[in-house]
């Protein structure tokens, strides 16, 4: 898990340097796949349920699961959420960042910053003895304090020899979820706030994958794979 997580985080750091105006999301995808393979990993997302890329590239109002394309060229003022997974020796890492392209509207920069903060608020609660809902509540509180919409259709998850495992790790609390699973040493989970500048409503594009905001406003994503230890937690995917 450490090796897979480390490579996943390092791939995102590498891709961040390539994010600039004029680059296509397909070029970022090819660079990520080459980097993962060169470093002894296998892209976790490639062919997952038929997904055609090694990373997800979601631009502006795209929340998650954007498909890399030669036709999508980044331009000044865009934001791009890149979700990446790498497998080593049968174990997965999963992490996402939203990067700024050139000069981005301050209101949108703030969304990106607060989404990252939401992760760290959740992380503080990811300790043995707490429940999943303690993480969810911390994220929800921080996002709502800024008046943002929290995506409800997609959630964080357990991770290990499968990319997505139980338990679900929602970014909101609900009666249905209750307190959720109790956290114990040895568990690994992906905590991943997906936060919208506008409403929480989403829709799926005709490609069957891309999840976008219904109101067309921007969305940000920040994720790391987190290991629950005896004393607290360890983030496995090089957060920055």
Question: Could you list the residues that contact Mg ion (CB under 5 A)?
Answer: 83, 94, 96, 190, 223
Q: How far apart are CA 143 and CA 111, in angstroms?
A: 9
Residue 114, classed as helix, strand or coil, is helix
CB nearer to Mg ion: pick between 140 and 223: 223
φ and ψ at 122, to 5 degrees? -65, -40
Q: Which residues contact 47 (CB under 8 A, 6 or more apart)?
A: none
Q: How far apart are CA 4 and CA 27, in angstroms?
A: 23
CB of 17 vs Mg ion, minimal distance in Å:
20
CB of 146 vs Mg ion, minimal distance in Å:
22
- Cβ pair 142, 117 in contact under 8 A: yes
- Cβ pair 18, 88 in contact under 8 A: no
- Cβ pair 43, 32 in contact under 8 A: yes
CB nearer to Mg ion: pick between 93 and 149: 93
CB of 99 vs Mg ion, minimal distance in Å:
15
CB nearer to Mg ion: pick between 78 and 83: 83
Task: Tell me the CA distances in angstroms from 101 to 18, 31, 135, 188, one per residue in order.
Answer: 10, 17, 30, 32
CB nearer to Mg ion: pick between 87 and 190: 190
CB of 131 vs Mg ion, minimal distance in Å:
20
Q: Which residues contact 30 (CB under 8 A, 6 or more apart)?
A: none
CB nearer to Mg ion: pick between 5 and 149: 5
CB of 154 vs Mg ion, minimal distance in Å:
9
């Amino acid at each position: 898990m450490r090796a897979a997580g480390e490579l996943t985080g390092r791939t995102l750091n590498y891709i961040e340097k390539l994010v600039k105006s004029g680059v296509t999301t397909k070029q970022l995808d090819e660079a990520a796949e080459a980097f993962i393979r060169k470093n002894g990993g296998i892209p976790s997302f490639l062919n997952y349920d038929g997904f055609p890329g090694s990373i997800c590239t979601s631009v502006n109002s795209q929340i998650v699961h954007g498909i890399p394309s030669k036709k999508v060229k980044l331009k000044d003022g865009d934001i791009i959420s890149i979700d990446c997974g790498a497998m080593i020796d049968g174990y997965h890492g999963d992490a996402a960042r939203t990067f700024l392209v050139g000069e981005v509207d301050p209101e949108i920069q703030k969304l990106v910053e607060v989404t990252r903060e939401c992760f760290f608020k959740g992380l503080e609660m990811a300790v043995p003895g707490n429940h999943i809902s303690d993480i969810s509540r911390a994220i929800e509180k921080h996002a709502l304090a800024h008046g943002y919409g929290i995506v409800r259709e997609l959630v964080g998850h357990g991770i290990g020899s499968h990319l997505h495992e139980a338990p679900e790790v929602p970014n909101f609390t609900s009666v249905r979820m209750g307190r959720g699973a109790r956290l114990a040493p040895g568990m690994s989970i992906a905590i991943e706030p997906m936060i919208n500048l506008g409403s929480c409503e989403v829709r799926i594009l005709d490609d069957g994958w891309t999840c976008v905001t219904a109101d067309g406003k921007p969305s940000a994503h920040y994720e790391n794979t987190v290991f629950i230890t005896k004393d607290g937690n360890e983030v496995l995917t090089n957060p920055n």
